[in-house]
Amino acid sequence: MTYHDVEPLNGVDRYAVVGNPIAHSKSPFIHEAFAQQTGQAMTYERVLAPVDGFDATVKALIKQGYKGLNVTVPFKFEAYKICDSLSARAQSSGAGAVNTLINTNGKVHGDNTDGAGLRRDIEQNLGFSIENKDILILGAGGAAHGVLNSLVGAKQITIANRNLDKALQLATSISNGSACPFESLERPYDLIINATSAGLTDSALPISDAIFSKNTLAYDMMYGRETPFMAQARRNGAQVADGLGMLVEQAAEAFYLWRGVHPDTQPVMDKIRAIAI
């Protein structure tokens, strides 16, 4: 039996995203759009879990028969620990983080669709092949960990972080990785991924203009605002993308795990941009 064969309890399967805070999550909008587009009978809600109550919240939702959950900040690491089984990519993501839970008869299976979402956005939506590229990742926290394994095929991956030890640790987890401080970056890269949370506070990173060229794709994993990183990349002629595509693609991958159908992501991305939710 696959996950998709599970019969709904009452005709309409229930799903939710669990986080704290959760009020501004776009996931319900995205999954409702996917459900409508693909004709799936399901509901998708926001659930606020207390900071110290993730485990209890998930157990209660599973008991109520929720078929699947998305997990967001700050619970992705805790989610990894409470699963009965884990997908290979969740296991191999050095992060130990899970963003998608699948309930099969009360057993919880964990997966992580963030890396696949990033890669799909970069390759399919932005038309930029990762293969053999010289990649720079800014940041070495959970966001960087979560997507590192999806960049297989890159020529080399440089990881720069304010805390150099964290960058070194992350770089040693891959065969083609190296680490350095922001200040020693001084040549252009093919792809630069901003995985820091500096943009949340509009903080500029101490990075040189020299890391950007007109052939660079500068990708910020944040969405909903023009970060100082994006502005700097634009000033230096790079192609610039925010993380909205990744958000929608990771959701599409979760939707596929739950429902066995791949939704068309482009109309959903267009709609979010048009109404600026």
C-alpha torsion angle, residues 73, 79, 80, 84 (rounded to 10): -160
Q: Which stretch binds ligand ATR (CB under 6 A): 34-42, 134-142, 208-216, 258-266?
A: 134-142
CB of 112 to ligand ATR, least distance (A): 13
140 interacts with ligand ATR by CB under 6 A: yes
The residue annotated as part of the active site, out of 67, 76, 155, 166, is 76
67 counts as catalytic: no
| 166, 169, 226, 256: which one binds ligand ATR (CB under 6 A) | 166
Closer residue to ligand ATR (CB): 140 or 192: 140
Closer to ligand ATR by Cβ: residue 86 or 140 = 140
Distances (CA, A) of 150 to 31, 49, 200: 23, 29, 24
Q: How far is the CB of 71 from ligand ATR (least distance, A)?
A: 13
Token look-up 């790079």 returns 238
Q: Which is nearer to ligand ATR, 95 or 269 (CB)?
A: 95
x/- site string to ligand ATR, residues 81 to 120, per CB under 6 A?
A: ----------------------------------------
CB 109 within 8 A of CB 131: no
Identify which range of 28-36, 85-93, 162-170, 233-241 contacts ligand ATR by CB under 6 A.
162-170
User: Does 173 engage in binding with ligand ATR (CB under 6 A)?
Assistant: no
Among 196, 232, 236, 265, binds ligand ATR (CB under 6 A): 196
Pick the closer one to ligand ATR by CB: 196 or 265: 196
- Beta carbon of residue 105, minimum distance to ligand ATR (angstroms, whole number): 32
CA atoms within 13 A on the CB side of 276: 1
> Which residues would be at the binding site for ligand ATR (CB under 6 A)?
139-144, 161-163, 166, 195-198, 203, 205
Catalytic residues: 76
